[in-house]
Amino acid sequence: MSDTNEKKLIFSGIQPTGTFTLGNYIGAIRNWGPLQDEYNCIYSIVDLHAITVRQEPAKLRQNTLQAYALILACGIDPEKSTAFIQSHNHNHAELSWILSCSTQFGELSRMTQFKDKSAKHADDINAGLFTYPVLMAADILAYNADLVPIGADQKQHLELARNIAGRFNQKYGEFFTMPEPFIPKTGARVMSLQDPSKKMSKSDENPNACVLILDDKDTIIRKFKRAVTDSEAEVCYREGKDGINNLMTIYSAVTGKSLEEITSEFSGKGYGDFKLAVGEAVADHLEPVRSKYEKLIADKAYLKECYTAGAEAASKITRKTLSKVYRKIGFVDIR
Ligand code: ATP
Ligand code: LTN
């Protein structure tokens, strides 16, 4: 048996709904690259998910290419991993239909992301927004993924994917692998810089609430300087200090320093010094990503070559899954 077959399989996805935030980066994508040697990794730009909220077609196309270039800039090596655009592999949508017949209306109604997004897009509570977690389950189960690297906000969706897999296995016999979440210890939930009780999100209307990974150094420093904190002047991680806790988490994630080390580094110093240090550390950390991105986005032919090969490799795996699923369900074989 080849080495490749012994490795566990990882799948994750990210929506092309805008430039990635520092939250997406720390909570998800930056963890993807280091997994490539130890696991078989499959990463997708999930454009089918993105259209659950209204998208302007030209902008979606641009965001999808940008997102693809960004994951490569963040360290995904298309020679080591399979990196593709979700709509290029039709098997995801097909399996999603099958799995929706093993999903209960009640369990979808309990999804907090559905509640949040339907409150935010009250004029367009479409069926796709409701069934979104079934498509996410299909993304994962189509590859029989063992591990799914995600931020903490996606844990509920992953639990649902496990329930759907379990129900299918119970009905038709053991088939799908039970996927496990892979959530980072530091930075699993990066909060908004303007309202630290809310998660940092690409779709936030307030541009000062989130740092984008393509923001330049001055912009990053300015956003951190304006970050909402408390009226004390003590840099320490404590309940009730959500703003400072968030900045400490971010600083720890980009410098590797522990919370204790950060507390002693800034003891006797004010929030101004601390915010500036966080801004500088984040900007320096993101600089190589930004310059790699600039090169990649200028080379559309290379990107096309990568996502075409990625889609072929991905489809090859999922075609097999789907034909086994069809047989299990009792569909008539055409061959
Ligand atoms: P949108 O605002 O369009 O809903 P989003 O910013 O929430 O998008 P997604 O594409 O839904 O981003 O998420 C991609 C990955 O980033 C997921 O694994 C998700 O858990 C992670 N993630 C998103 N926001 C954060 C955050 N604030 N902190 C940590 N991880 C996050
Ligand atoms: N639902 C996720 C994005 C996503 C995903 C996936 C993540 C779609 N399919 C499969 C991991 C595995 C989100 O909104 N962040």
pTM: 0.94
Q: Which atom of ligand 1 lies closest to the CA of 151?
A: 20
| Contacts with 287 (C-beta within 8 Å, 6 or more apart), sequence order | 217
Is residue 83 classed as helix, strand or coil in its secondary structure? Answer: strand
- 202 labelled catalytic: yes
Q: What is d(CA 163, CA 327) in angstroms, rounded to the nearest whole number? A: 21
Of the candidates 24, 11, 27, 86, the residue with the CA atom closest to the CA atom of residue 51: 86
- Phi, psi for residue 42 in degrees, rounded to 5: -130, 120
Q: Which residues pair with 202 in a beta bridge?
A: none
Ligand nearest to the CA of 16: 1
Is 318 near ligand 2, meaning CB less than 6 Å away? no
Q: Which of 8, 80, 155, 202 is catalytic?
A: 202
Is 148 near ligand 2, meaning CB less than 6 Å away? yes
Is 15 near ligand 2, meaning CB less than 6 Å away? yes
* CA-closest residue to ligand 2 atom 12: 12
- 199 labelled catalytic: yes
* CA-closest residue to ligand 1 atom 23: 24
Q: Which residues pair with 148 in a beta bridge?
A: 181
Do residues 234 and 185 touch, judged by C-beta distance below 8 A?
no
Q: pLDDT tens digits for the chain (335 residues)?
A: 445 568 999 999 999 998 999 999 999 999 999 999 999 999 999 999 999 999 999 999 999 999 999 999 999 999 999 999 999 999 999 999 999 999 999 999 999 999 999 998 899 999 999 999 999 999 999 999 999 999 999 999 999 999 999 999 999 999 999 999 999 888 889 999 999 999 999 878 899 999 999 999 999 999 999 999 999 989 999 999 999 999 999 999 999 999 999 999 999 999 999 999 999 999 999 999 999 999 999 999 999 999 999 999 999 999 999 999 999 999 998 87
Q: What's the 152 CA to ligand 1 centre distance in angstroms?
A: 9
